[in-house]
Every structure is written in C-alpha cells, then in structure tokens.
Amino acid sequence: MGENRLLRRIIEVTSSDLNLREVAEQVAVLVTDATASDVCFVHVLDESRQRLVLMGATPPFTSLSGTVELDLGEGVAGWVALNAEPAVVPDKWKDDRYVYIPALRGEDYESLVSVPLLGRGQSVVGVINVHARKPRRYGEHDVALLTQVGNLMARTIENARLYERLAERERMLEGFAARTVDAQEMERRHLAGEIHDGISQPLISLWYHLQAAEAFAIDPAVVSHELGKAKDLTSAALDEARRAIAGLRPSVLDDLGLGPSLESLAHTVVGPEVDVDIAPCRLPPHVEVALYRIAQEALQNVMKHASAERVTLRLATPNGGVQLVVEDDGRGFRPGQAAHTRSGGPSYGLVGMRERAELVGARLTVTSKLGSGTRVAVELPTPSILQRSMTRAE
C-alpha cells in the first residue's frame, strides 16, 4: 500500500464512528501492511494512572486489548512514552530497555520500532510498536511514516477522551438536574409545612383573638388582653416568615456580601467553637450563593456527625484565587464513607456540595481520617475567570 493511500485510509478510519479499540485495531493492521512488518501494537496512555494500556493489535493478539499494561519507562514502549522520542531496536534481546511479556510472545520477533503518539502540545498520549520476525533495521522512512500515523492516531485518542469527558459531564448534569427537582419538591413540602405550622396557625389564632376582642368590645380588659395576644402572634408569624425567606436566599448576601454572611452563619453553629477568618472579596452573586450553601452544608455536617470541639471557617484569596475551607477536629471518617449515608444510600449533602462547586467552575476536595477531623476545601479559579463568570451572571 502506497504512503498516500495509507494516510488516506488512516484518516478514514480515525474519522469513523468506530470506538477507540476498533480504530486502534484497524490502524494496527494498516501499519503492519504498510511497513511490511509482522505485528503491530497500539498502546494508549491512561492519564490518571500513568500507565500504558494495550488498546489494539493485529491478530492473533486482538483479544489482549485492555489486558496488557506497562508503567512509564517500562519496556521499549514505556521508554518511548517517557522520553517522547522514537526507538529503533534491531535486536531486542540485546537492548536493555526490552521487557519480555509472555502474552505477546516476544520470542517470535527479533526487531521492532516504537514511535510516540504526540497530541496537542507535544504531550504523549500513546505509543505504536511494529515488530518483525526476522532481524531488521527499520529506517528513517519507517519512523517518519509511523510518526505521521501516530499524529493522526493521537488526535483520535484526544477526541475520544474529550467525548468521554463530555458524556460524563452530561451524565453528571442529568443526575444533578434530577436531584435538583427532587430537592425542589422536598423544599416545597418543607416550606408548605413551615407556612402551615409556623405562619398559618398563628394567623388563625390571631383571627380568633381579634374576633374575641370584637365580641367583648364593651369590656376594655378583655379587649386589651386579646389584642396583646394578637400582637404576640403577629410577631411570631413575622419571625417565621423571615426564617422561611432566609431559607430560600439569605438576605445578608444581598445586603452585606459573602464575608459577613459567612460570619453570620458561623454564629449559628451549636456545639464546637468556631474560628472565623474571612478575607474580603467580591464574587458573582451565583458564586457567592454556591459558596454560602457549601459552607452551610459543611457546618451542618460538623454539628450532626463530627463531635468536634473546634471548627475553622476560612475564606482566603491565595495566589489571586479564592479558597473556602471548613475544617474540624472531630472524629473524621474513612475515605469512601462520605459518599454514603449510614443506611448505605447516597449522601446528597456531599454530592450537592461537589456539584455546586463544579457548576461555578470550582474544585471541591474532602480530606478526612478517622480520629483526625475533616477538611472541606473549595478552590476557585483566577480573577480573570471569575470576571468572565461575573459578566455572564450580570
């Protein structure tokens, strides 16, 4: 197969609707044919674990996809990934970098060439290896051809990762939307109960006291008593109404901003002493609401679960960014427990905090250890990003 035809076929394959494993297998077959080699392996770098994973191969190794892994620096492919440069190996048995993997039957092949798959910014996203049964020195033309193929394959890998991240983001948003609807319904029921018990009932009692005052208008003492009761009930109803409104959106956020709101929130904590350290900063309204709610949920968790003696609430502006921290000296928990309630169901408190953070472009981390307390931290981006967020909000 001519070089131009090969590249056209590679472009067709990498632009198709095939999944990444199918693309890698087809590319491996095309490369083996174009370089007159006997077998080809396509390894993809797992970014989170920093390991190369076999993604595609020519027969008889196609069934091994996803089962063979290498550390960065391990074997010829690992060396190529670590150094981001090709390696031509005429006799792999004399090359210290070679690592024998029984499943890949290295004893059947003498020579190989390995080329990195370089993505945007020249970052390594994988490695492509071709092997020959008989001794052979792969030339510059082979390396150049594999490099061109590698560049096309790298774009496919990057696009696949972007698609996976987008799909994950969509799944997260769908889940968040569903939980938001559930939370809204729960909040509506809660508010209905608050209005019925905290506002409607005092108003009904108020009506009866006013009726009594009217009925006994000729007796000043009775009228005075009933009007006093009516006044107390009116005050109680007003207080309940203010609490219900504050539950929807704290008015102090509108009146004074995030810092004073957090200080006010700290005064509501019952049990542990609260150390407050607030740096003044101005943020978009929706970001302030998100931070306030995260702090509110974190402090409620401290009161409910931590058995802490002291908790720190801190709002800082390190390196031009913004950081919110709620840290306690309580009982802590094991990693993984925070995502579930004691009954084993999902902990929507932590999920909600994380999603609130992500939806305003922040990153939430929860660090804890049994007997060593818990630290909830929210990191916001630089002011330039915040300014764009503020512009959108306005």
Highest mean pLDDT among 33-37, 130-134, 184-188, 293-297: 130-134
Percent of the chain residues past pLDDT 70, beyond the cut:
83
Q: Could you say which of 126, 150, 167 is where a domain stops? A: 167
Model confidence at 89, pLDDT cuts 50, 70, 90, reads very high
CATH of the domain at 80: 3.30.450.40
- Asked if pLDDT for residue 1 goes beyond 70, the answer is no
- Asked if pLDDT for residue 148 goes beyond 70, the answer is yes
CATH of the domain at 346: 3.30.565.10
Co-location of 22 and 155 in the same domain = yes
Predicted local distance difference test score (pLDDT) of residue 392: 42
Co-location of 29 and 160 in the same domain = yes
Domain count, the chain: 3
Co-location of 201 and 282 in the same domain = no
Per residue in 34-70, pLDDT tens? 899 999 999 999 988 889 999 999 999 999 999 999 9
Co-location of 156 and 234 in the same domain = no
For residues 233-261, give the mean pLDDT: 73
Sign of CA dihedral 283, 289, 293, 296: positive
Main-chain phi, psi angles of 375, to 5 degrees: -130, 120
Q: Could you say which of 184, 217, 248 is where a domain stops? A: 248
CB-based contact 40:8 (threshold 8 Å): no
Predicted local distance difference test score (pLDDT) of residue 326: 94
> Domain range for residue 321?
251-393
Predicted local distance difference test score (pLDDT) of residue 199: 66
- Asked if pLDDT for residue 338 goes beyond 60, the answer is no
Q: Where are the alpha helices (DSSP H) in 56-200?
A: 75-83, 140-194
Predicted local distance difference test score (pLDDT) of residue 388: 44
Shortest CA distance to 126 belongs to which of 248, 28, 251?
28
Main-chain phi, psi angles of 273, to 5 degrees: -75, 145
Co-location of 203 and 107 in the same domain = no
Co-location of 204 and 327 in the same domain = no
Strand partners, 132: 111
Average of per-residue pLDDT values in the chain: 82
Co-location of 239 and 322 in the same domain = no
Co-location of 179 and 202 in the same domain = yes
Percent of the chain residues past pLDDT 90, beyond the cut:
36
Co-location of 63 and 19 in the same domain = yes
Co-location of 20 and 156 in the same domain = yes
Co-location of 282 and 385 in the same domain = yes
Q: Which residues contact 385 (CB under 8 A, 6 or more apart)?
A: 361
Co-location of 36 and 84 in the same domain = yes
pTM of the model: 0.50
Q: Could you say which of 167, 182, 210 is where a domain stops? A: 167
Task: Please tell me the distance from the alpha carbon of residue 52 to that of residue 42, in angstroms, as a whole number.
Answer: 10
Per residue in 92-131, pLDDT tens? 999 999 999 999 999 999 999 999 999 888 899 999 999 9
- Asked if pLDDT for residue 339 goes beyond 60, the answer is no
